[in-house]
């Protein structure tokens, strides 16, 4: 997937702006390319990060698009514990998926999708928005 030219990456969780793993810290120089959404189900993994399951019949998951250069992928793949031949028990697959944007319509981009074999998928995030969900986790109950 990633080649010499920057590749668009859809981020939906902790890599989003102001997330606990803001992409600006993990892959400095990745360029914001706009907001987007894709079809899938988003799960809360122990209140620490989300896991995405792609599903064209499901609701919308909110995220951001970034242009990522080839040299930035290793740090992202390490953070995401990406499934590879040398790491078959990783937490995420790196796949191409269709996203919708307000300006460019539908396009295929790279996304990290949960590996159900290694990720406990229990708590569905109905809103499809990790940042909104995480803000509610941080707000003390009254």
Query: What does the pLDDT look like over 79-121, one tens digit per residue?
Result: 999 999 999 999 999 999 999 998 878 999 999 999 998 888 8
With contact defined as beta carbons under 8 Å apart, do 112 and 105 qualify? Answer: no
**What is the CATH classification number for the domain harbouring 110?**
3.10.490.10
What lies within 8 Å, CB to CB, of 55 at 6+ separation is 39, 40, 41
Q: By the 8 A CB rule, do 35 and 65 touch?
A: yes
Helices (H) and strands (E) in the chain, counts: 3, 7
Length of the chain: 142
Q: Is residue 83 part of a domain?
A: yes
Q: Are 43 and 123 in contact (CB under 8 A)?
A: yes
Q: Is 48 domain-assigned?
A: yes
- Kindly state whether residue 31 falls inside one of the protein's structural domains: yes
Span 42-47, mean pLDDT? 91
Residue 2 lies in a domain: no
For the chain, the distance separating the N- and C-terminal CA atoms, rounded to the nearest angstrom, is 47
Nearest to 12 by CA among 135, 137, 132, 129: 129
DSSP single-letter state for residue 14: T
In a domain? residue 25:
yes
* Alpha carbon of residue 18 to chain centroid: 14
pLDDT on residue 95: 96
Domain count, the chain: 1
Tell whether 1 is covered by a domain: no
Token pair in block for residue 50: 């989300």
Domain containing residue 57: 7-138
- Whether 16 is in a domain gets the answer yes
Taking the alpha carbons of 102, 108, 110, 111 in that order, is the dihedral positive or negative? positive
In this prediction, residue 140 carries a pLDDT of 54
Average pLDDT over residues 31-43: 96
């Amino acid at each position: 997937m990633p080649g010499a030219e920057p590749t668009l990456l859809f981020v939906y969780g902790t890599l989003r702006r102001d997330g606990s793993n803001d992409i600006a810290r993990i892959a400095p120089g990745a360029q914001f390319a706009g907001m987007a959404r894709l079809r899938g189900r988003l799960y809360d993994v122990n209140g620490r990060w989300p896991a995405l399951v792609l599903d064209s019949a499901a609701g919308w998951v909110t995220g951001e698009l970034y242009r990522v250069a080839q040299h930035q992928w290793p740090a992202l793949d390490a953070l995401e514990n990406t499934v590879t031949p040398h790491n078959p028990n990783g937490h995420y697959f790196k796949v191409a998926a269709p996203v919708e944007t307000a300006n460019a319509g539908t396009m295929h981009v790279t996304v990290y999708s949960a590996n159900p074999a290694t990720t406990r998928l229990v708590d569905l995030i109905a809103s499809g928005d990790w940042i909104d969900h995480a803000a509610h986790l941080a707000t003390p109950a009254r």
